[in-house]
Chain A
Amino acid sequence: MGWEEWLISTIARALAYGTPLLWGTLGEVYAERSGVVNLGVEGMMAIGAFSAFAVAQSTGNPGLGILVAAVAGGGAALIHAFLTVTLRANQYVSGLALTMFGLGLSGLLGRGWEGVPLKHPLPAITVPYLADIPILGPMLFQNQSIITYLGLVLAVVLWVLLYRTRWGITLRSVGESPATADALGVNVYLVRYLAVILGGVLAGVAGGYLSVEYRPSWTEGMTGGMGWIVIALTIFVAWDPVQAIGGAVLFGALYHLSYRLQPWVAPELLKLMPYAAAIIVLAFVGLGGAQRRRGAPGALGVPYARGEK
């Protein structure tokens, strides 16, 4: 295989593997922009993956499966929102609990579904005309999932919403300084609820993509730690939806490479690669003192109550 083909196929696969990372990261970016950390991404993805598979298998409609995954992810996030926004519980503890809960619940319910291939997975799409462009065509527009394309469009839409609209100003302000937003009549709780739920919806879709498209089947723990990579990516991309594309593709490529290199390197080491990379990347972000400058939301992780002294 020539290096050109190798590059093309690597990027094409990186895009495919990066898709769940992208959806998850976009969701976490929005939740954290409102000031709420949700460490439950892994759990919400697992719930999404299982519910998508179950619905797609029993109805034969993978699209419906993804939709249900979105709703299930959003529902799981609602629990987190209630605990952290209304009851002002510790966000980290609640998020960790949500991950355990999601992994456990999907494992329990998924017992009977284990190891059966999905009858009707989502069909891959080749974009007419664009697919014929040399190099870029096969890299980006051949045999990709509709969810990959939607994810790319969504990233841009979310960026515009965040930086160019009234909602965006509201969301960012709530994450930076909820007391300021409150004093101007913004419903801080509502904004946080919506952002956290959106985060869950997107994480649910990310999970659904795994079970009805990427590896059309259900196995317990099939999210394989992707939810944690999402948490790291959110910091790495500086809470920016468009940068999330680059981050997701980069880590997608690492996942893909860990398969490619299997003939030569011990699989245990390869499996470590994305996580090792996450640690290295975060260390660099931190070392540069860059985190502060690159604008972590000012009130990230802090519950809000009006008039608290």
Chain B
Amino acid sequence: MMAAPGAGDLGGNQNSPPLVLLEGVTKSFPGVVANDRVTLDVRPGEVHALLGENGAGKTTLMNILYGLYRPDAGEIYVKGRKVVIRSPRDAIACGIGMVHQHFKLVYPHTVAENVALGLQGTPFFGPARVVERGLRELGERYNLPVDPKARVWQLSAGEQQRVEILKALYRGADVLILDEPTSVLTPQETGELFKVLARMKEEGHAVVFITHKLDEVMEAADRVTVMRRGKVIDTLPVAETDKASLARMMVGRDVVFRISKAECTPGKEALVLRDLRAVNDRGLPALRGISLTVCRGEIVGIAGVAGNGQRELVEVICGLRRAQGGEVVVLGRPLTNRSPRTVADAGVAHIPEERLRMGIVPGMTVEENLILKKHHRPPFSSGPLLRLAEVRRFAEQAIEEYEIITPSPKTPAKLLSGGNIQKLILARELSGEPGLVVAAHPTYGLDVGATELIRQLLLRQRDAGAGVLLVSEDLEEIVSLADRIAVMFRGEIMGIVEASAAELGEIGLMMAGTRSGMGDPR
């Protein structure tokens, strides 16, 4: 028979023994110690934030707890009992659930089928139907509404995350691990998630919450553990700390949150879009007449909820998607529907949204990735041959200048942490003094240190006279970097505002589809 979904009351308070205790956990990968004698306790009824730079070992630690990796050394205790977790199956049996950084969902299947997958105690025939009922109950109890019959690919990122949380709760998870849950969410969805977390706390669950955003730690967490280079630096109550000291613990130096930037002095037109139209992968209209100008020496931010045409816009500009109508003019040259190489050669740098899929060749080395767009030209090649010494010299210089942390220039790029992959891409794209930089979500998933560095690099490009088109879902980022902000909704620009005069409320309204009075694209 089926157990009632969800966990019972665990009666959490500060004095009860930890729900989960990791002691002296160590894990090495070739060339790095990802976790070095890590000790961490998670108590019932708390939200425990896990903070640390890219590559600090947060995901590795949680993957060990969830049975995806085996630790080299160390012990795990669940509710005071020593356990050995060999696989996710063991972890689930211990009451541990995990929502991964990249969702683990079967996209063509329904929500109920996703929850029913691998679930013990469901009937052999028609398990999804039984799960549908349980899902409605759980959804009400935790305020996590989703349609159990919907197919997962049709859901928004926020809804997909709800499915992941429901999956864990349905299996009776006492401890829920959330790996960077807010990076895919809109501000509203983040607020809702925090309400769900509060509700889970009341029911006595514990939540481990990995994030790079210090504001979220201050808002949602009870205690916070900071990691650096595989080691735990400290665990302390959130009430006894502040953002600045957390950031210092994380990166080992002071971090500037407010970026100071010089006055914007727009020059000639770097990018002109006229009535641009295109369809998305499903053949539906994604761009419905976009007109926009980006001048040299200015940053234009594109704000909006993901899926409103931003991706298609970037792809059309970079020659990766056909425009069905309208015009793209880059640095005075008409470049509508030209090949990506033509566009790149015209002086366009592209920092793509999907780092691993479009930004690098994961299996190639760091130095090979660094020269990718220029490998066929001097000084990197003479005739048909590569000049390896030149390549190495350039790579070493870029690694130093952009602070790319890598065991060696010969390491496969896929083994770098997210932040370092992004620095690699910027190093390659910005090295040719581009006239236009198209950056999509450049700091997505990056730690505060890397975020700061990348924002500064973009500003430096602007000050050096490049036009920058910055697509981001992070409103705070757009407001602090951009000189003008255009808001996209359903493939149209709802309005353009000067960043200095921008009001978050007004932008928020436009993101939801209200047209502003000043829709004139300058």
Contacts and interface: CB of A to CB of B under 8 A. Distances in A.
Interface of A: 164-167, 169-170, 172-173, 176-177, 179-186, 295, 298, 306-307, 309
Given A169-B127, A169-B128, A170-B117, A184 B88 contact: yes
B118 A170 contact: yes
B201 interface: no
B167 interface: yes
A183 B126 contact: no
B113 A169 contact: yes
B155 interface: no
Q: Which of A172, A173, A307 has the most CB of B within 10 A?
A: A173
Contacts of B114: 180
B122 interface: yes
Contact of A180 (B117, B127, B414): B117
Q: Which of A177, A185, A307 has the most CB of B within 10 A?
A: A185
B405 interface: no
State the 3 A-B residue pairs at the shortest beta-carbon distance, nearest first: A185-B89, A184-B118, A180-B104
Contact of B125 (A165, A307, A309): A165
Contacts of A295: 108
22 contacts: A164-B126, A166-B119, A166-B124, A173-B117, A176-B107, A176-B108, A177-B104, A177-B106, A180-B104, A182-B68, A182-B88, A183-B66, A183-B88, A183-B98, A183-B100, A184-B119, A184-B167, A185-B92, A295-B108, A307-B63, A307-B68, A309-B415
Given A166-B116, A166-B124, A176 B87 contact: no
A68 B125 CA distance: 31
Contacts of A172: 106, 109
Interface of B: 63, 66, 68-69, 87-89, 92, 98, 100, 104-109, 113-114, 116-119, 122-128, 167, 414-415
Contacts of A180: 104-106, 114, 117
B414 to A, nearest CB: 6
Nearest to A180: B104
Nearest to B100: A183
Given A164-B126, A169-B113, A307-B63, A183 B104 contact: yes
Nearest to A176: B106
Contacts of A186: 117-118
A164 B128 CA distance: 8
B59 to A, nearest CB: 11
A90 B68 CA distance: 25
Given A166-B127, A307-B63, A309-B414, A181 B105 contact: no
A53 to B, nearest CB: 38
Contacts of B128: 169
A306 B127 contact: no
A267 to B, nearest CB: 44
Contacts of B167: 184
Nearest to B116: A169
Nearest to B90: A185
Contacts of B124: 165-167
B414 A184 contact: no
Contacts of B126: 164-165
Given A172-B109, A295-B108, 7 more contacts: A165-B124, A166-B119, A166-B122, A176-B109, A180-B114, A183-B98, A184-B117
